[in-house]
Amino acid sequence: MPWKMTPENIAVLMKAMHGAPYGWGNFNFYNDCSAEVRSLLMPFGIYLPRHSSAQVEAAGRVVDLSHKNPQMRIDYLTRYGKAFTTLVYIPGHIMLYIGNTTMNGQVVPMTYQNIWGLRPNHANSRSIIGEAVFLPLLRFYPENPELISLAGKVLFKLGYIE
pLDDT, one tens digit per residue, over 103-127 is: 999 999 999 999 999 999 887 888 9
Tell which residue, 107, 124, 119, 113, has the closest CA to residue 146.
119
Q: Which CATH superfamily is domain 7-160 in?
A: endopeptidase domain like (from Nostoc punctiforme) (3.90.1720.10)
pLDDT digits (tens, 9 = 90+) for 33-49: 999 999 999 999 999 99
- The pLDDT confidence band at residue 162, using thresholds 50, 70 and 90, is confident
Give the CB-side neighbour count of residue 81, counting CA atoms within 13 A: 28
Residue type, 7: P
Between 21-25, 54-58, 108-112, 124-128, the lowest mean confidence (pLDDT) is in 124-128
Residue 161 CA to residue 72 CA, distance in Å, equals 22
